Amino acid sequence: MKTAVEGFRLWPGALDAAAQADLVAEVFARLDDAPLYRPTTPGGRPFSVQMSNFGPLGWVSDRGGYRYQSIHPETGRPWPAIPTVLLDLWDATVGWPTPPDACLVNLYRDAAKMGLHQDKDEADLGAPVLSVSLGDTATFRIGAAEGGRTTTLRLDSGDVCALTGPARLARHGVDRVLAGSSRLIPGGGRLNLTLRCAG
C-alpha cells in the first residue's frame, strides 16, 4: 500500500474479533494493578486521554516533563508486564531484534484526542514504534518529521501500524474518535497500545 510517509506501515485488521476481545480482557485485568489516570502536560494542562503503562518502563508526563519511569506515578508500584500477545505481535510485524520495554496504554473516551507530536523520549530512536488500535475508530493524522503537509487515515479496531525507519520521528496524532463505532471497550471508547524501546 502507498502510505503517507515512507516508513509508516499499516496492517489493517491484524487482530481478528476474538483476538481483540482477548487482548481487551487482558489489558483491563492489568489495569486493576496499574489504574488509568489523567496525566498533565509540563505546563500543567490535563491530557484528555487517560493513560497507564505495561512493561519495565512507562511514559509519564507532569510538571517535571516527559520521561520514562519504572513506577506508576499515583500508586508507586511497578508497571505490570507487557502481555505476551503484544510481544509476539512485535516479532511478527516489525521484527526488531530487541523486544519493547514500554507499552503505553491510551484510553480515549468522550471527546479525547491527541495533538500532533513526535515520539522522541526513547533512548533508541532507531527502534520502531508499534501501535495497536482497539474499539472505536480513530481519525489518525501523520506527516513527515521535517514538516509539510499531513494526511489523515482511519484506524479501526484490530488495525496495527508502525513508525519505522524514516517515519520513526513522523509527526502524528489523533484528531478525533468516532464515539459508538464499536462496542468492544467496556464503558466505550478507544484503546491504543503503543510499544516502544524506551530504555
- The β-bridge partners of 150 are 143
50 in contact with ligand AKG (CB under 6 A): no
104 in contact with ligand AKG (CB under 6 A): yes
DSSP 3-state of 180: coil
Give the count of residues interacting with ligand AKG (CB under 6 A): 12
Q: How far is the CB of 91 from ligand AKG (least distance, A)?
A: 21
**Contacts of 76 by beta carbon, 8 Å cutoff, 6+ apart:** none
Q: How far is the CB of 184 from ligand AKG (least distance, A)?
A: 15
157 in contact with ligand AKG (CB under 6 A): no
**Using CB under 6 A, which of 174, 195, 197, 198 touches ligand AKG?**
174
172-to-23, 36, 117, 168 alpha-carbon distances in Å: 24, 23, 6, 10
Distance CA 37, CA 158 (A): 24
73-to-57, 100, 125, 132 alpha-carbon distances in Å: 12, 21, 24, 24
Helical (H) or strand (E) element with 102? strand 102-108
The contact pattern for ligand AKG, residues 105-144, with x = CB under 6 A and - = no contact, is -x-------x----x-----------x------x-x----
167 in contact with ligand AKG (CB under 6 A): no
Q: How far is the CB of 69 from ligand AKG (least distance, A)?
A: 16
Binding site residues, ligand AKG, CB under 6 A = 104, 106, 114, 119, 131, 138, 140, 155, 172, 174, 192, 194
